[in-house]
Amino acid sequence: MMRARSSPTRLKLLVLSGPQVGQSHVLAPGAYRLGKSAECDIVLNDKAISRQHLRLDVSEGGVKATDLDSHNGSFCEGMRFSELEVRPGAVLRLGSTELKLVPESSRERVIPPSESTRFGGLVGTSRRMREVFTLLERLAPGGADVLIQGETGTGKELCAEAIHAQGPRAKGPFVIVDLAGIAPSLIESELFGHVKGAFTGAQADRAGAFERAAGGTVFLDEVGELPVEVQPRLLRALERRQVKRVGANDYRALEVRVLAATHVDLEKAVQEGRFRADLYHRLAVLRVTLPPLRERPEDVPLLIDTVLERLGRPGSALSDATRAMLLQYPWPGNVRELRNVVEQVVNLGEEALPDMGAAPAPTGEQRAASLDLPFKEAKERLIEGFERDYLQGLIERCGGNISRAAREAGIARLYLRKLLHKHGLSARDTDE
Ligand SMILES: Nc1ncnc2c1ncn2[C@@H]1O[C@H](COP(=O)(O)OP(=O)(O)OP(=O)(O)O)[C@@H](O)[C@H]1O
């Protein structure tokens, strides 16, 4: 096999299940054959795998997987494929063997997927979600603080509720603080409370969220929005389990579990100086990452049924054709968007489907395909794709700041917020 002398980001293949579970294979650039035959580069002794089952072509540009006409087929995220560009994080399944592509430096270990397809209100049949359930089953009863990461709509709040409900302080209060929805100047008092006269408008003593959550759990949503000057205070509260109201002199000891969630990459925020490294490390001791829905389409059918059940509607409320369409969609707004679409279809009928809003950005191939559609539909698709590309670039350029992005694009902030919402994108709505 040919190997290049060096490669910048090497990948490895982690065997998640099957007879070789726990093994890993570093993938230098080159071609690899996977199968039961001893002649293969990666031998997998799995009865349901063909002698020569799959080929992986690894180059610096990526990894291409080609099924070698195997008897039982090759699958990725529940779909059978004959040829596929595999991105890091993807899980391939051959027979009863699952293989995950991860960076070589990854310290990720094999997590056995939970037997259960739910944890509290969270449901999911995919391996990724059942791994999350295993972590949650281990973490929740201990009562430790947990950082929950995931894109918007992936279920972070639901996850926090479930950790609280299955933790030692389940009988205590569950207090939510949405840090993105509070003016930065009021955050400290919201969290820790204040004494009368501490600032203009502080007309009486007031307990903060930490005190109100005493004996229970405080959930800090969008913790990445915490102003830098308040960050040392949160760090102190986490380390010493005590808080001081704004304007007070004394600290009060608190028995409280702290759960925090973020949809932004906090590690990047640390590198950019927007988030303190010490606070990040304290928060990230125990982490749970909820995968985006587009990486686990196997979960879509159960999620649809769960939404229908919550609406008190039978599974037959959605036709097979609609279900098939929902399976194809990339869900930029994740489970929240799926829930909204199912509700819309149930209430307005299946003709509501073409107005699903956030159409995916069309690839070159899809753009060409849309030339076959009726003019109006083709035009709408292209515009949606353009909007999404434009907004993504804009938000990235403006560091996620809505005010700056609206100024740069020459549109009103409210309109920009609506557009972002429509496309399941998020940004910070703060005044600079
Ligand atoms: N795995 C899941 N199973 C069932 N329902 C889910 C799941 N994930 C999310 N939901 C539902 O999707 C909606 C959005 O979830 P939630 O509010 O917890 O997301 P979030 O990650 O906190 O979003 P944001 O970052 O925008 O605050 C809720 O209605 C929630 O009940």
ipTM of this complex prediction, to 2 decimal places:
0.98
Task: Tell me which residue has its CA closest to atom 12 in ligand 1.
Answer: 336
Q: Is 194 in the pocket of ligand 1 (CB under 6 A)?
A: no
Q: Whose CA is nearest to atom 16 of ligand 1?
A: 155
**Tens digits of residue pLDDT in 409-432:** 877 777 788 788 777 777 776 544
Q: Are 396 and 381 in contact (CB under 8 A)?
A: no
Protein residue with its CA nearest to atom 1 in ligand 1: 122
- Whether pLDDT at 272 is above 50: yes
% of the chain exceeding 70 in pLDDT: 90
Secondary structure of 90-110 as H, E, C letters: CEEEECCEEEEEEECCCCCCC
Q: Is pLDDT of 6 > 60?
A: no
Given the DSSP bridges, would you call strands 252-253 and 118-119 parallel, antiparallel or unpaired?
Answer: unpaired
* CA–centroid distance, residue 340 to ligand 1 (Å): 11
At position 55, the amino acid (one-letter code) is R
Instruction: Read off the pLDDT of each residue in 62-70 and give the average, rounded to a whole number.
Output: 95
Question: 126: number of CA atoms within 13 Å, CB side?
Answer: 25
Instruction: Look at residue 384 and tell me whether its pLDDT is greater than 80.
Output: no
Give pTM, 2 decimals.
0.72
C-beta of 422 in contact with ligand 1 (< 6 A): no
**Ligand 1 pocket, residue 118 CB under 6 Å:** no
Instruction: Write the CB contacts of 234 (distance below 8 Å, at least 6 apart in sequence).
Output: 191, 220, 226, 279
Q: Which atom of ligand 1 is nearest to the CA of 338?
A: 12
From 119, 132, 158, the mutation candidate for ligand 1 (largest count of ligand atoms within 8 A of CB) is 158
Token digits of residue 17: 């299940």
Tens-place pLDDT, residues 282-299: 998 899 999 999 889 899
Pull the structure tokens for residue 50: 């063909």
Contact present, 121 and 148 (Cβ < 8 Å):
no
Residue 369 has pLDDT above 60, yes or no: no
Q: Which of 122, 154, 223, 429 most suits a substitution to test ligand 1, by most atoms within 8 Å of the C-beta?
A: 154
pLDDT (0 to 100) of residue 363: 44
Contact 86, 76 (CB under 8 A): yes
Q: CA 310 to CA 104: how far, in whole Å?
A: 42
H-assigned helices in 85-183: 127-139, 156-165
Residue 199 CA, ligand 1 centroid: distance in Å: 36
CA 87 to chain centre: 16
Q: Is 335 near ligand 1, meaning CB less than 6 Å away?
A: yes
Question: What confidence tens digit (pLDDT) does each residue in 147-198 have?
Answer: 999 999 999 999 999 999 999 999 999 999 999 888 888 999 999 999 998 8
Using CA positions, which residue lies closest to atom 31 of ligand 1?
A: 158
Contacts of residue 135, Cβ cutoff 8 Å, sequence gap at least 6: 111, 288
Nearest CA, atom 24, ligand 1: 152
CA 177 to chain centre: 20
Mean pLDDT of 29-38: 95
- Say if residue 223 is exposed, middle or buried (CB neighbours under 10 Å; 0-12, 13-18, 19+): buried
CB of 154 shorter than 6 A to ligand 1: yes
Q: Are 202 and 195 in contact (CB under 8 A)?
A: yes
State pLDDT tens for residues 304-360: 999 999 999 998 888 888 888 888 888 989 999 999 999 988 888 877 675 554 444
Radius of gyration, CA atoms only, the chain: 24
**Average pLDDT of every residue of the chain:** 87
